[in-house]
């Protein structure tokens, strides 16, 4: 039963991530689906957006591997796959760069990786329930982030302007007029 529930949840997560290109409503309206999406845009250059989607697909693959390994009692494989989605300095820098134009995005992205770090200790303890609980908490961070943010493909000039504006807004005020 647990396996059926986990497979269903994973299928829903993967299915919800499939549409990454802008689509249009039927011909009776010219309003794009993107204009109806009230989530906060994360401005990204095309190559950055593609890289981010590739990373997220790898994160999903790692979660699938973790679930398969837990069901097989292969905790060494759980640790191996969980390490791919845990925090590293390189991942932290990538999250910072990807979220440079969307205040708050970087914190949620880092929260995902730090939450994923809880999977390895549970696997080392060979505790299936704790491992699944850690995976569930990790997936909750995915759901929360995807509920708040969406990708927005922008050109180089727009991306630089947005990032500059965010950096200026985050600088401490000097008190000078």
Q: What is the pLDDT of residue 20?
A: 47
Tell me which residue has tokens 């039963």: 1
pLDDT tens digits, one per residue of 42-85: 999 999 999 999 999 999 999 999 999 999 999 999 999 999 99
Q: Which of 88, 44, 89, 83 is nearest to 62 (CA)?
A: 83
In CATH terms, the fold of domain 38-169 is 1.20.120
Q: Compute, in degrees rounded to 10, the torsion defined by CA atoms 42, 45, 47, 48.
A: -30
- The residue ranges of every structural domain in the chain are 38-169
Classify residue 68 as exposed, middle or buried by CB count within 10 Å of its CB (0-12, 13-18, 19+). middle
CA dihedral 156, 105, 82, 70 (to 10 degrees): -120
């Amino acid at each position: 039963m647990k396996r059926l529930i986990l497979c269903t949840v994973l299928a829903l997560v993967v299915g919800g991530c499939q549409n990454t290109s802008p689509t249009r409503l039927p011909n009776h309206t010219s309003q794009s689906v993107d204009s109806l999406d009230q989530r906060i845009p994360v401005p990204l250059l095309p190559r950055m957006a593609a890289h981010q989607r590739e990373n997220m697909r790898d994160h999903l693959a790692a979660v699938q591997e973790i679930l398969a390994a837990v069901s097989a009692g292969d905790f060494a494989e759980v640790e191996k796959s969980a390490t791919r989605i845990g925090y590293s300095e390189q991942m932290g820098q990538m999250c910072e760069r990807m979220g440079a134009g969307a205040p708050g995005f970087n914190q949620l992205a880092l929260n995902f990786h730090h939450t994923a770090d809880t999977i390895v200790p549970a696997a080392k303890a060979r505790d299936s329930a704790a491992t699944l609980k850690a995976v569930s908490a990790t997936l909750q961070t995915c759901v929360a982030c995807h509920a708040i943010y969406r990708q927005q493909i922008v050109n180089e000039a727009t991306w630089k302007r947005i990032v500059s504006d965010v950096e200026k807004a985050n600088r401490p005020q000097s008190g000078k007029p």
